[in-house]
Amino acid sequence: MSGHAPKSIGSLSFGLMDPEEYRDMSATKVITADTYDDDGFPIDMGLMDPRLGVIDPGLECKTCGKHSGSCNGHFGHIELAAPVIHVGFSKLIRRLLRGTCRECSRLTLDENERQEFRDRLDRTRELGDDLNDVTKAAIRQARKKDYCPHCGAVQYDINHEKPTTYYEVKQVLSSEYPQRIAAAMEPDEEDDEPVSPHDLADETGIDAGRIQEILSGEFRPREEDRQAIEKALDVDLTEEDMDKLMPSDIRDWFEDIPDEDLEVLGIDPEKSRPEWMILTVLPVPPVTARPSITLDNGQRSEDDLTHKLVDIIRINQRFMENREAGAPQLIIEDLWELLQYHVTTFMDNEISGTPPARHRSGRPLKTLSQRLKGKEGRFRGSLSGKRVNFSARTVISPDPTLSLNEVGVPDRVAKEMTQTMNVTERNLEEARRYVRNGPEGHPGANYVRRPDNRRLKVTEKNCEELAEKVKPGWEVSRHLVDGDIVIFNRQPSLHRMSIMAHEVVVMPYKTFRLNTVVCPPYNADFDGDEMNMHALQNEEARAEARVLMRVQEQMLSPRFGENIIGAIQDHISATYLLTHTNPTFNETQALDLLRATSVDELPEPDGHEDDGTEYWTGRSIFSELLPDGLDLEFTSSADDTVVIEDGQHVEGTIDEDAVGAFGGEIVDTIAKQYDRTRARIFINEVGTLAIRTIMHFGFSIGIDDESIPPEAQEQVDEAIENAYARVEELIETYERGELESLPGRTVDETLEMKIMQTLGKARDSAGDIAEDHFDDDNPAVIMADSGARGSMLNLTQMAGAVGQQAVRGERINRGYENRTLSHYRQNDLSADAHGFVEHSYREGLEPKEFFFHAMGGREGLVDTAVRTSKSGYLQRRLINALSELETQYDGTVRDTSDTIVQFEFGEDGTSPVEVSSSMDEDAVDVEDITERILDEEFADETEKQQFLGTEKRPTNLSEHADDWWLAEGDD
Amino acid sequence: MVDVSQHELVPDHTVLDSDELEDVLAEYDIKKTDLPKIKRTDPALPDEAEVGDVIKVERDSRTTDRAVVYRLVIE
Ligand SMILES: [Mg+2]
Ligand SMILES: [Zn+2]
Ligand SMILES: [Zn+2]
């Protein structure tokens, strides 16, 4: 290391910077807008002055003497010809202008008010609330004052024209004052006498001759005279005048604000004097922050910031030249505004109302604030998230032969991702073998590190030689091998199960392979989804991943406290086929079903066929996967009662409610009553058994599976015709004006509702008729019944009728004037004119039906698109708000400033994953109560442990330890 | 006027005396201002509660039977 001792940050304080500080830290004053001379050397006191740091390798920094890479660069400064406003503070400047006196610069609050706001500030600080609320209130109060309570000067309103112009709004004598006075002297009503100039003179005490002069416009009345006339005639002689405040005026104004007044406004005058918000010096960022690039043709291309600084210096020089030459005020003001514009866009080039500064090509310049803001900005793009090493991304594909804890890693990925191996006496041979295999062979090694910290690349050429040199104390960066732990992730990472640890299985080809049962937690499918893998780089990370993050440890979702991993789709169809009618299998078949599981011996046969051959039932084959001692009773999705006694499946259908992801009863119970390892084995074996089963029976779906016999079709047609007739009847009743409206509805709404209802019923009865004609072994029916995929509604739409299409929850009503399509008459209320699709998907849709169907379908697509972006933003805000909350060791949830958010995590201190979710079970944590009572009984922990004895839980950290694990438990 | 504090769904709100308060602050090792807040105008508060008091809220809980929370009364 370069001799930098690690330091820790004690505190940070934010404030404004004193212009003197800019000058002090500046390496050089920058006076010329030129960058390089004709020979390509940076010009002294130019924007690329070598004192501002070095970017070209080989050159030496003129300030610190270091070379590029170790010199961080140094700030320079530009002396601005005239002060300009810092855009970032335009709001605070406005507030201070409004809250302080224009004459004496003091805060226009009296002592009582000041004390009140000082107290409120202290209280808010203590409560950790937003100080802005108080300071805003103080300004609001001060702004109400028409006169300064300290010097009595009149206060004017301040107008802020964004971004950086301020005006004082003054009431001055209108240029039309003679006309206004004359008009006011006219009588209000017909018979009233007009006010004569003499009367006016009497009333106001102004000399009569002077009144004449005023009336003729020869003399402008003074302030007191104006007020007297206004009072006498009840007239307003003023008009608004906007008086522009130049930055220099504002700076003078702010310089006089006393320190104690600033404290009332929550400003620490030691750190931030308000006049520092008006810039007189501009810091020039070091060249390292705005490096120039040399193009292929040898031309230099400068950074956007440098371009902006060139503009600023040019205008600055022109301003000075013009002022010295005594140019007219108008030109000076124009140049001043131009300087303000350039300094403003130097800091932020995306201010509304200001045209962005552009590059010659028309591209807006990326200036300071654009570097920081947004997703690709410094904070979100470079600090909170950045590209990482030891990571891989590729397409995923399914592999049912893997365990759910495993991931198939392509060999070319395994050869790139490495794990560090510390060579010892005991693994020396192994380490040498890796090195000998070289970087191309798998499992090989890519690098070795000698004890003197020299890193050597292993190449095809040197690997044999290098392998012999490897000694204890070396480090070998070996390839990933089977059994290594890696982290696997699919975006959007919306919950913690989106990032889980898997054990590596190195495989050929180019995709990551995963067992289909982990699709639900990742929300993955195989239509081109890609996933990321991260190889862990230290033992601590690997241990944590293995113990806490492995898929089996994440089996229970904290969202609803039940399993999120389990059988899906074909697995469920298969267990349904295996158990619903409880079919029988001969020995060969039974062994074939169980061949991929760990069961290698069949139980006693369930009976004998007539010819004496033994048979086994589907349920007893399934029972082979269940742990001993499991007792369960629940209702399945197929709506029968499932009974499991002592690990034997006695009755009922095994389907989604039994083994499915999202709360399959058996999986959930095994995970909670046994342990995660047992549940993992169970799910894996259900998966393999299911796939063998579905291959045994064969399972496919074709268009004829949704066909219904002609007599059924007739019934369906009749049902729809009936509905049409009833709709017609409704419309007639409506048109006769006899339709009675439902409570709280208009007649029109009532008609719509009744039509929708009638048509809804028509579709349902069409569905029911169709359903009656399907066999129980119809694959679509099996899938809907078992919960594997699809519903009876899908079946209805395929075989019966698609039904009413809706946009915004109503029948389709849009399109042409008073009709949906030009194929209908205007104001046709009938079913087909408003998007009722009477055909089924199997029959096919009419063109008009197809069009209405597309309208309804479009709404669905738009909805999902809008929902995902909305919920994504909501999620981001929620995470930002909650990210710093943390459960402490005392059980409380606190934020980083130790403010308590919850006195007990979740108000009950329990993890949803550990609480049994079935309602009939006790929610009270009996073990915890026992623990507490035991704690009171025994003096200390050792005594208690002596009494209790310790139960050793088998450790299971890898797929490769399963045999040992199963032997350990006696299941 | 309806007195919501008598409603069965409104948990008990009681003002802590100084001894109890000290115990609570010691238990969690916090300042009074680190507690969650409750507005003085909250209708569930007892009449005698004043700004700066600490309120003990006792709720029924399905999982822990009784969940206790403390809140600092603010304006
Ligand atoms: Mg996909
Ligand atoms: Zn340097
Ligand atoms: Zn004043």
Express each pLDDT in A844-866 by its tens digit. Answer: 999 999 999 999 899 889 988 88
Q: Is A24 annotated as a binding residue?
A: no
Mean pLDDT, residues B44-64 taken together: 86
- For residue A928, pLDDT over 70 is answered with no
Residue A969: pLDDT above 70?
A: no
Q: Average pLDDT of A928-933? A: 70
C-alpha to C-alpha distances, A971 to A835, A852, A931, A965, A966, nearest whole angstrom: 60, 59, 28, 10, 7
Does B40 lie at the interface with A, CB-CB under 8 angstroms? Answer: no
Rounded to whole angstroms, how far apart are CA atoms A336 and A634?
82
How much is the average pLDDT of B55-66? 83
pLDDT at A478 over 70: yes
Tell me the average pLDDT of chain A: 86
Q: Which tokens go with A645?
A: 């006694």
Query: Going by C-beta distance under 8 Å and a sequence separation of 6 or more, which residues neighbour residue A258?
Result: A105, A106
Q: Is the pLDDT of residue A1 over 50?
A: no
CA distance A789 to A432: 52
Q: What is the mean pLDDT of residues A23-37?
A: 87
- The bound ligand whose nearest atom lies closest to the alpha carbon of A149 is 3
Lowest mean pLDDT segment, chosen from A246-260, A487-501, A731-745: A731-745
Q: pLDDT at residue A836 above 70?
A: yes
Q: What percent of chain A has pLDDT over 90?
A: 30
Handedness of CA A186, A187, A191, A193 (dihedral sign): negative
Looking at domain A418-479, its CATH class is alpha beta
The Cα–Cα gap between A881 and A497 comes to 21
Tell which wins on pLDDT, A226 or A489: A489
**Å from CA of A111 to ligand 3 middle:** 14
State which of A121-130, A209-218, A569-578, A710-719 shows the largest mean pLDDT: A569-578
Find chain B residues with C-beta within 8 A of A909's C-beta. 64
Residue A107 CA to ligand 3 center (angstroms) comes to 8
The 10s digit of each residue's pLDDT in A304-345 is: 899 999 999 999 999 999 999 888 889 889 999 999 999 999
Give the pLDDT band of residue A419 (cuts 50, 70, 90).
Answer: very high
Q: Which residues of A touch B68 (CB under 8 A)?
A: 903
Residues in chain A with CB shorter than 8 Å from the CB of B56 are none
Q: Is A925's CB within 8 Å of B63's CB?
A: yes
Contact status, residue A312 vs residue A282, Cβ threshold 8 Å: yes
Note the pLDDT tens digit of each residue in A327-336: 888 988 999 9
Asked if B4 reaches chain A (Cβ–Cβ under 8 Å), the answer is: no
Q: Using the beta-carbon criterion (under 8 Å), do B67 and A907 form an inter-chain contact?
A: yes
Residue A918 has pLDDT above 60, yes or no: no
- Test A900 with B30 for CB contact under 8 angstroms: yes
Question: In the beta sheet, which residues pair with residue A358?
Answer: A364
Name the more confident of A178 and A529: A529
Q: Where in chain A is the domain with CATH 1.10.132.30?
A: 703-863
The answer to whether the annotation marks A18 as part of a ligand binding site is no
Instruction: Give the pLDDT mean for A42-71.
Output: 84
Condensed to tens digits (0 to 9), the pLDDT of residues A539-555 reads 999 999 999 999 999 99
- How many whole angstroms from A259 Cα to the centroid of ligand 2? 37
The least confident of A147-151, A383-387, A717-721, A724-728 is: A383-387
pLDDT at A924 over 60: no
List every span in chain A annotated with CATH 3.30.1490.180.
418-479
| Third-level CATH fold of A391-415+485-550 | Barwin-like endoglucanases (2.40.40)
Contacts for A941-944: CB closer than 8 Å, 24+ residues apart: none
pLDDT tens digit string along A782-813? 998 888 888 888 888 888 888 888 888 888 88
Instruction: Please indicate whether residue A19 or residue A872 has the higher confidence score (pLDDT).
Output: A19
In tens, the pLDDT along A624-651 reads 999 988 888 888 888 889 899 888 898 8
Q: Does domain A570-697 have CATH number 1.10.274.100?
A: yes
pLDDT at A920: 47
Q: Average the pLDDT over B18-40 and give the result.
A: 90
Check whether domain A703-863 has CATH 1.10.132.30, yes or no: yes
**What number is the average pLDDT over the span A569-593?**
91
Residue B9 confidence (pLDDT): 87
pLDDT at A514 over 90: yes
- Cβ pairs A/B, distance under 8 A: 48
Residue A229's pLDDT is 75
Beta carbons within 8 Å of A934's beta carbon, 6+ residues apart: A944, A947, A948
Which of A126, A885, A897, A899 would best serve as a mutation to test chain B binding (most B beta carbons within 10 A)? A899
Fold classification of B4-74 is: Eukaryotic RPB6 RNA polymerase subunit (3.90.940)
pLDDT of residue A968: 63
pLDDT reported for residue A950? 63
The answer, yes or no, to whether residue A767 has pLDDT greater than 80, is yes
Most trustworthy range by pLDDT among A150-159, A575-584, A667-676, A914-923: A575-584
B67: nearest CA partner in chain A: A907
Contact A564, A497 (CB under 8 A): yes
Sign of CA dihedral A355, A360, A363, A364: negative
The residue among A230 and A491 whose pLDDT is bigger is: A491
Q: Would you state the pLDDT for residue A919?
A: 47
Mean pLDDT of A349-375: 87
- pLDDT above 80 (res B69): yes
Is 90 exceeded by the pLDDT of residue A517? yes
Give domain limits for chain B.
4-74
